[in-house]
Chain A
Amino acid sequence: MVRAQDRKFVSADPEKCIGCVVCEYACSMANDNTFNPNKSRIRALRLGPLNNIAVTCRHCEAPACVAACPRDALRQEEDTGIIVVDEEACDGCAWCISACPFGAMMMHPEKKVVFTCNSCKDQPDGPQCVKWCPEEALTFVSAQQLAQKSRITAVKNLFQEAKEKKVESK
């Protein structure tokens, strides 16, 4: 059994992401054998040239989408945290879409049922968006690893600043 803090999901670094949507195409290529961002389980957003980020399912603990579904069509896989959609049960009512704070739950353009990131679990080399991202802005990480990364960066900056101040005062 995988601990919740070790479950991995795809996360984008806003400093590196440039909104190039390669991830969207890679997703539809891997999951649907076609090129179509409307079928992508990750969506990039550009709010002006300086603000870019790609967003997908974060495999939340106690996911709002699952709680919101009136037809029990959604469940979360214990080990991976992936939200699995029962396409027979889903009637496309979109309660889960309004519940998700990240816009990670989406309506499939053809199937008329919801769909979301499956972490490319059938792919031997993991999530394809991560593999194709030209900026290395996407990583497949756990909450634990994200926290560690932020901590390391923060501490590095702290020491760097202290060093620079020292140099200045000399």
Chain B
Amino acid sequence: MFAYAGKILRVNLTTGKISTEPLSEKLAKEYIGGIGLGIKLLMDNSKPGTDAFDPDNPLIYMTGPLSGTLGPTGGNSYAVVSKSPATGGVANAESHGFFGPDFKRAGYDAIIITGKAPVLSYLWIDDDKVEIRNGEHLQYKTVNETDNMIREELGDFYIRVSAIGEAGEKLCRFAAIINDEFRAIGRAGLGGVMGSKNLKAVAVRGTHDVNVADFDGFKEFIKMIYERMKGPATKKYKTLGTPENVLVLNSLSALATRNFTNSQFEGADKVSGEWLNEHYVKKIVGCATCGMRCDHIAVVPEGPYKGSTSRLEFECLWSMGPLCGIDRLDAVIEAMRIVNEYGMDGISIGVVVAFAMDCYEHGVITKEQTDGIDLRFGNAEALIQIIHKIGKREGWLGNALAEGTAKAAEIIGGDAWKYACHIKGLELPGYDLRTLKTAALGFSVSFRGACHLRNGAYSPDVKGKVNRFKIEPGRGKMIVPDGHTYNVIDSMILCKFSRGTYYDGNKDLAKYYTLATGIPMEPDELMVIGERIENLARLFNVREGKGTREYDTLPWKIKNVPVPEEGPAKGVCVSDEEHQLGLDEYYAARGWTSDGVPTVEKLNELGLGDYAYIVKDLAKGGKA
């Protein structure tokens, strides 16, 4: 096989058994790699009803077909798939940087990790030599310390490490896995799954060649993409970066503020991309094998957080800034730095803190319960203090919040659930869904919970292609095709920042795939694969009892708290009626039942007939 390594590695941490098996070309083509193949391996290597923190829940590291090549963004990536401790459904996340290529060069398309090590350990993959090493000396070390210590003890600066911090070890349900200092397998709590296995890190060194099928054709194709990356398609990421969104969304009344109470932030200017770049950004760097550069490295020049250094993107800036009512970027940069040290999802952490602040302001939690922290909106010191407590699971509240908003609301009790802004247990990303209603629908049906990266449904809203204040007929159908494309992108593991450089869309992606692998691929076939992945992920959620209509919900505040600001958005929130209409249409467009379950016919059509047993008893709802 070309581009693929053709091999899957299995590691059982309980027994210490390590083995490999071949990857068939058929499986490679049907699921591509990345999250597609990862979800397939998850489905086939887990028993229904296994708890996310059970040793039997597999943690699956994936490369994509392009990993290890000079292909921009596809060359530098990996993905992790498992069952999510936040949602109980599929967890998938992708990360770029420098780790993925070495993982491929070591000779693997996938690593299926099961079991639980008797003591804290790390996995050391040195080409064909795979070893489970003692990691007790790494306990509670930050991600970066862990990275440095492992490279030091193994004696090679160029070893790449993907690790968890204290939050992952302490089973935080939104803990992340982080590589290369600040690149995260961020969402859905995969760091917690890793912690539950007593696995602190995966370290790799790969020295084998990665070869593509059509060397000259591939070279020519990627040269073209590198050239396009210098142009307008990636300008945003190379200039202000994603924080450009702050003022754009604010002007659209879509910058969720103070835990989705307001949709505009009076302090937006001070946390804008413009302000960040003018006052804090020291250098813009990038990942391996990429022609863009997007990592805005911010350094605090003065004040209490002087010297604090972190990469900052819109989502995390938003969640720890406007969503917490905080207009101080120095504090947000420091917060981001410590969130990366503990190894937590930078989106979820902000939403969790904002939730706690909302509860505090409404008297649902008291100052005694916060251990004296004045958890008001806008209190930057309180943000830093509570992040430390959550990272360490310290105190009653820190411990509760480390469970994520959904479970924390149950622990706190009372009206707390009203302030918990999550879908399926995963915290909302940075878009006010009351004023971006296509996004509201798209996020509610995403298989990994609230997610802006599963179908890009915010795009028609933000670009003004639709009436974003209303879910109108046609909207359910509209969001389907992009979902397929996004599944393909995450299976080839391309960076979504680069999506604009594939001028011919799926045609470009299919060509890219074939040049690398030599496996024939048509643009239409790619869309079928995207649909297959969507259905398989949904099936996994159905199998785990989380994949039906009742789980495709929206948070209480999105449905019940109208936008208070004057202007065109005033009074808007999502009605149950319009949301249900959107769901009906979406399920119908997908060929699912009115309960949101894939039909046997649909499964057969997609070559997923083997899984029909999962839906047989649920098919009673009839076609939507």
Q: Which residues of A contact B219 (CB under 8 A)?
A: 29
Enumerate chain B residues within 8 angstroms of A22, measured Cβ to Cβ. Answer: 70, 226, 288-291
Do A49 and B212 touch (CB < 8 A)? no
* B98 within 8 Å of A (CB atoms): yes
A45 to B151, CA, bound (A): 14
Q: Mark A110-128, 1 if CB is under 8 A from B, else 0.
A: 0000000000000000000
Find chain A residues with CB under 8 A from B290 CB.
Answer: 20, 22, 134
In whole Å, how far is A20's beta carbon from the nearest beta carbon of chain B?
A: 5
Which residues of the partner chain B approach A109 to less than 8 Å between Cβ atoms?
207
Q: Which of A32-40, A82-90, A148-156 contacts B (4 or more CB under 8 A)?
A: A32-40
Q: How far is the CB of B160 from chain A (nearest CB, A)?
A: 11
Assembled-state Cα–Cα distance A34/B157 (Å): 23
Chain B residues closer than 8 Å to A48, beta-carbon distance: 181
What residues of A have a CB within 8 angstroms of the CB of B101 in the complex? 37
Interface footprint category on A: 20 to 34
Are A49 and B285 CB-contacts (below 8 A) given A36-B105, A38-B207? Answer: yes
**Using an 8 Å CB-CB cutoff, how does the interface string of A18-46 with B read, 1 for contact, 0 for none?**
11111001100100111111110000010
| A132 is an interface residue with CB less than 8 A from chain B | yes
Residues of A contacting B284 in the complex (Cβ-Cβ under 8 angstroms): 18
Q: Are B70 and A29 in contact (CB under 8 A)?
A: yes
Q: CB of B293 within 8 A of chain A?
A: yes
Within 8 A of B (CB), among A22-76: 22, 25-26, 29, 32-39, 45, 48-50, 52
Q: Mark B58-87, 1 if CB is under 8 A from A, else 0.
A: 000000000011100001000000000000
Whether, in the assembled complex, A6 has its beta carbon less than 8 Å from a beta carbon of chain B, the answer is no
Contacts across chains A and B counted by CB atoms under 8 Å: 80
How far, in angstroms, from A18 to B98 measured CA to CA in the complex? 13
B287 within 8 A of A: yes
CB distance from B279 to the nearest CB of A (A): 16
- A13 interfacial by beta-carbon distance below 8 Å: no
Please determine whether B69 and A134 come into contact, CB atoms closer than 8 angstroms: no
When C-beta atoms are compared, the residue in chain A nearest to B291 turns out to be A134
Do B207 and A21 have beta carbons less than 8 Å apart?
A: no
- Residue A135 is within 8 A (CB to CB) of chain B in the complex: yes
A132 to chain B, nearest CB (A): 7
Q: Is the CB of A36 within 8 A of B288?
A: no
Docked-complex contact B210 and A18, CB < 8 angstroms? no
Contact in complex: B295, A49 (CB < 8 Å): yes
| Residue with the greatest number of chain B CB neighbours at <10 A, chosen from A20, A35, A45 | A35
- A18 B293 Cβ-Cβ under 8 A: yes
Please give, as numbers and ranges, the residues of chain B lying within 8 Å of A37 by CB-CB distance: 101
Q: How far is the CB of A104 from chain B (nearest CB, A)?
A: 15
Do A19 and B289 touch (CB < 8 A)?
no
CB-CB nearest in chain B for A136: B230
Question: Cβ of B214 < 8 Å from any Cβ of A?
Answer: no
Within 481-501 of B, Cβ neighbours of A (below 8 Å) are at none
A34 to B289, CA, bound (A): 14
B286 to chain A, nearest CB (A): 5
B75 touches A25 (CB 8 A): yes
Among A19, A21, A34, A134, point to the contact of B226 (Cβ < 8 A): A134
Tell me which of B68, B70, B75, B290 has the highest count of chain A C-beta atoms within 10 A of its own C-beta.
Answer: B70
B233 contacts the other chain (Cβ, under 8 Å)?
A: no
CA distance A22 to B287 in the complex (A): 10
Asked if A25 contacts B283 (CB within 8 A), the reply is no
Distance between Cα atoms of A155 and B133 in the complex (Å): 56
User: Is the pair B291, A36 in contact by a Cβ cutoff of 8 Å?
Assistant: no
Complex Cα distance, B107 from A36, in Å, reads 12
Task: State A50–B295 Cα separation when bound (angstroms).
Answer: 11
Contact of A35 among B209, B229, B299 (CB under 8 A): B209
A132 to B295, CA, bound (A): 20
B116 within 8 A of A: no
Which residue of A is nearest B101, CB measured?
A37
A-side contacts of B297, CB under 8 Å: 49-50
**A-chain residues with CB within 8 Å of residue B105 when the two chains form the complex:** 36, 38
Output the nearest chain A residue to B311 by Cβ-Cβ distance: A49
CB-based contact A35/B212 at 8 Å: yes
- Given A22-B291, A25-B75, A134-B229, is A35 in contact with B285 using a C-beta cutoff of 8 Å? no
Judge if B470 is at the interface, Cβ distance under 8 Å.
no
Residue of A whose beta carbon sits closest to that of B206: A38
A163 to nearest B CB, angstroms?
A: 22
User: How far apart sit A45 and B285, CA to CA, in the bound complex (Å)?
Assistant: 13
- Contact status of A20 and B288, CB under 8 A, knowing A36-B105, A50-B297: yes
Complex CA gap A34/B282 in Å reads 35
Within 8 Å CB of B230, what residues of A? 134
Contact flag A20-B282 (CB < 8 Å), given A35-B68, A35-B209: no
Q: Which B residues are CB-close (under 8 A) to A25?
A: 69-70, 75, 289
B556: interface (CB < 8 Å): no
**4 closest cross-chain pairs (CB), A and B:** A25-B70, A134-B291, A34-B209, A18-B285
What are 18 of the A-B contact pairs (CB < 8 Å)?
A18-B283, A18-B293, A20-B286, A21-B288, A35-B68, A35-B69, A35-B211, A36-B207, A36-B208, A49-B182, A49-B283, A49-B297, A49-B309, A50-B282, A50-B285, A50-B299, A52-B285, A134-B230
Interface, chain A (partner B; CB < 8 A): 18-22, 25-26, 29, 32-39, 45, 48-50, 52, 109, 132, 134-135
For the complex with contacts A21-B289, A35-B212, A36-B207, 13 further pairs of A-B residues with Cβ separation under 8 Å are: A18-B284, A18-B285, A20-B293, A26-B70, A34-B210, A45-B157, A49-B181, A49-B182, A50-B309, A134-B226, A134-B229, A134-B230, A134-B292
| Contacts from B to A (Cβ < 8 Å) | 68-70, 75, 98, 101, 105, 157, 181-182, 207-212, 215, 219, 223, 226, 229-230, 282-293, 295, 297, 299, 309, 311
